[in-house]
Amino acid sequence: MESLHRDVDKRALRRFLRHQRRALSQHEQRLAAQRLCKQLKSLPEIRRARRLSLYLPVNGEIDPTPLLPWLRQRNVDIYLPVLCPFSANRLWFVAYRPDTPMVKNRFGIWEPDVRFSAQRRNRLPTWALDTLIVPLVGFDANANRMGMGGGFYDRSLAFMHRPGPSPTLIGVAHACQQVASLPVEPWDVPLQVVVSDQDCFRRQ
């Protein structure tokens, strides 16, 4: 019963927070993206990244792509999440270069087109990424993350619950997506840090 209430609360909170970020104007979005990227560029975890994944924003998500020219200048290998064609709610990470053929997935998000087998060779095992920039719907000051509710990142990063090589996870969001505290589930994979257009919170 308690977990039922929690699911209902989580759904309502997701709806509220998604509404908040969609309500931002284009100008506010652009300004937030610039401020976010300025902070990201000074973060040690980003400055030492050699193989980094980010995302193309939808539904009012904060836009991390102003970082792309800077990353390319630094010869960082850039990857994007792709819906895994074989197993549900799981992500692949595929190289994203200026000439990468792209296609819209079932959520309307552009991703590298892995229908070509040549493209599949540009996939990197997730453990081999050193840094992931992860979108989120809500966060708190202890860097806890609430996602879209599909558990895509939790499933794809579940290997991080076991010892072995694992990437640094950096959540990014608008400041208006912060809440006082979030419930943490056993399957949630913790972030090291959350960066917004105004703040930076590290996991204690």
Ligand X SMILES: Nc1ncnc2c1ncn2[C@@H]1O[C@H](COP(=O)(O)OP(=O)(O)O)[C@@H](O)[C@H]1O
What residues are designated binding site for ATP?
10-14, 145-153
Among positions 181-200, residues that touch ligand X (CB under 6 A) are 185, 187-188
User: With binding defined as CB under 5 A, does residue 188 bind Mg ion?
Assistant: yes
Q: In terms of CB distance, is 56 or 148 closer to ligand X?
A: 148
Cβ-proximal residues to 116 (8 Å cutoff; 6+ apart), any chain: 101
- Which residues pair with residue 124 across a beta bridge? 93
Q: In terms of CB distance, is 9 or 199 closer to ligand X?
A: 9
Contacts with ligand X by CB under 6 A: the residue count is 12
Q: How far is the CB of 200 from Mg ion (least distance, A)?
A: 21
Residue from 134, 146, 172, 195 in contact with ligand X (CB under 6 A): 146
Residue from 63, 140, 154, 197 in contact with ligand X (CB under 6 A): 154
Contact (CB, 8 A) for 93 and 129 = yes
Helices (H), 80-137: 117-120
Instruction: Report the candidate in 21, 103, 101, 98 with the shortest Cα–Cα distance to residue 62.
Output: 21
User: With binding defined as CB under 6 A, does residue 151 bind ligand X?
Assistant: yes
Helices (H), the chain: 2-22, 26-41, 44-47, 68-73, 117-120, 152-156
Q: Which residues bind ligand X (CB under 6 A)?
A: 146-151, 154-155, 158, 185, 187-188
Q: Which residues bind Mg ion (CB under 5 A)?
A: 154, 188
